[in-house]
Amino acid sequence: MSGKGLRIVVLIKQVPDIEKVRFDVETGRIDRSSAPAETNPFDLHALEAAVQLKEKLGGSITVISMGPRQAESSLRDALARGADRAILLTDKRLAGADTIATSRALAAAIRKLGGFDLILCGEKTVDGDTGQVGPEVAEVLDIPHVAYVCEIREVTDDKITVVSDMGDKYLYEVKLPALLTVTRELNTPRLPTLRDVLKARKKQIEIWDADALAQYEDPDRFGIKGSKTIVMKVVIPGVEHRKGIIFRGEDAAEKLLEVLKEGGFVKP
Ligand SMILES: Cc1cc2nc3c(=O)[nH]c(=O)nc-3n(C[C@H](O)[C@H](O)[C@H](O)COP(=O)(O)OP(=O)(O)OC[C@H]3O[C@@H](n4cnc5c(N)ncnc54)[C@H](O)[C@@H]3O)c2cc1C
């Protein structure tokens, strides 16, 4: 930890409302125009953890998101919830990224910040749902990480003690700087007040493109160009509807028996 407290970075992804979104089966992509956008719910728990740590230990919170221009609304919401600085990585050359190309861009942006103690991510997103980006960012930055953190026990100058929930619970002590991915059990995100929302409206959101990151990563390793994996096919599982029949009247039991015989559930 520097003399200025804990320098925290929170990674935030804007996702479509997963209850309403449609998938383009032809292209294998999400039709983002089919549903309103929101901040990935897990990332709000990461941000709340950051705010609680800052309240206790002092320091600063920088939120970073990679996505289209509309992701600014999630960053502005993060500013209202207690972040100090917000950065949007947006550029055609960053689009169409698989998880490792996404992680390289996020890691390059974190390097560009110049120094950090702790990176917080959601355990996964509700759209991509891979849970890969957090650990991959840690690998690219060559720092330790703990996934599925459900409790932060202690932070000292050079280490953090956390509980990870992988079905069984594990206690970890890791050196800082480190990255944590967090579960919903970690905390309850608070809502911003109207005053916070109004204050956040006046704050600036920094926009960085691929060129802004070029000093820290080869731009050919971002976006679709840097992605070695592609979605070949999206299959939406069909919904099975069970048939329900209600038998009424004196012969109900006989009718039921007939159906059971026909179905081979009872021997004739
Ligand atoms: C094989 C493959 C091909 C893909 N191709 C495309 C494509 O062509 N076009 C397309 O739009 N998408 C594509 N995607 C989706 C894209 O890779 C993901 O949206 C992105 O990499 C994040 O992955 P995820 O949603 O699974 O995040 P997870 O790994 O589940 O996210 C974990 C955490 O990482 C952080 N995080 C994740 N993404 C971001 C972000 N963008 N900004 C800031 N923080 C973030 C958040 O804290 C989040 O909670 C593809 C995915 C795969 C697996």
Query: What would the pLDDT profile of 179-206 be if each residue is shown by its tens digit?
Result: 999 999 999 999 999 999 999 999 999 9
* Cβ–ligand 1 contact at 74 (below 6 Å): no
What share of the chain in percent tops pLDDT 90?
79
Residue 2 pLDDT class (50, 70, 90 cuts): low
Whether the per-residue pLDDT at 226 is higher than 80: the answer is yes
Query: Closest Cα to atom 48, ligand 1: which residue?
Result: 122
Average pLDDT over residues 72-95: 98
Task: Please report the atom of ligand 1 found closest to the CA of residue 122.
Answer: 49
Residue 234 has pLDDT above 90, yes or no: no
**Among the atoms of ligand 1, which is closest to the Cα of residue 15?**
25
- Give the 3-state secondary structure of residue 227: coil
Pocket test for ligand 1, best of 11, 44, 129, 133 (most atoms within 8 A of CB): 133
State the average pLDDT for the chain.
93
Using the predicted structure, report yes or no on whether residue 141 has a pLDDT greater than 80.
yes
Which pLDDT score is estimated for 184?
98
Atom 32 of ligand 1, residue of closest alpha carbon: 124
Ligand 1 pocket check for 194: Cβ under 6 Å: no
Threshold 0.85, pTM exceeds: yes
- pLDDT at 137 (0 to 100): 98
Q: Exposed, middle or buried: residue 110 (CB in 10 Å: 0-12, 13-18, 19+)?
A: buried
| CB contact set of 264 (below 8 Å; sequence gap of 6+) | none
Report the pLDDT averaged over residues 150-174.
97
**Ligand 1 mean position to 3 CA, how many Å?**
34
Placement of tokens 């021997």 in the chain: 267
| pLDDT, tens only, 114-130 | 999 999 999 999 988 99
Nearest to 163 by CA among 143, 187, 130, 136: 187
Q: Which residue has the higher pLDDT, 191 or 28?
A: 191
The pLDDT assigned to 28 comes to: 65
Q: Is the CB of 47 under 6 A from ligand 1?
A: no
| d(C-alpha 75, C-alpha 11), whole Å | 10
83 within 8 A of 200, measured Cβ to Cβ? no
* SS3 label, residue 100: helix
Please give the pLDDT value at position 230: 83
- Per-residue buried b or exposed e for 211-233, using 16+ beta carbons within 10 Å of the residue's own CB: ebbeeebebeebbeebbeeeeee
How far separated are the first and last CA of the chain, in Å rounded?
A: 78
The domains of the chain, with CATH numbers, are 6-221 (3.40.50.620)
Which residue CA neighbors atom 24 of ligand 1 most closely? Answer: 128
**Per-residue model confidence (pLDDT) at position 191:** 95
Question: Measuring from atom 38 of ligand 1, which residue has the nearest CA?
Answer: 13
Closest CA to 12 of 71, 84, 91: 71
Q: Find where tokens 């039709």 sit.
A: 31
Q: What φ, ψ does residue 95 adopt, rounded to 5°?
A: -75, 160
Residue 109 — pLDDT band, cuts 50, 70, 90? very high
CB 160 within 8 A of CB 152: yes
Ligand 1 proximity of 231 Cβ (cutoff 6 Å): yes
* pLDDT value for 68: 95
Over 80: is that where the pLDDT of 26 sits? no
Q: Decide if 90 contacts 222 (C-beta within 8 A).
A: no
**Mean pLDDT score, 96-119:** 97
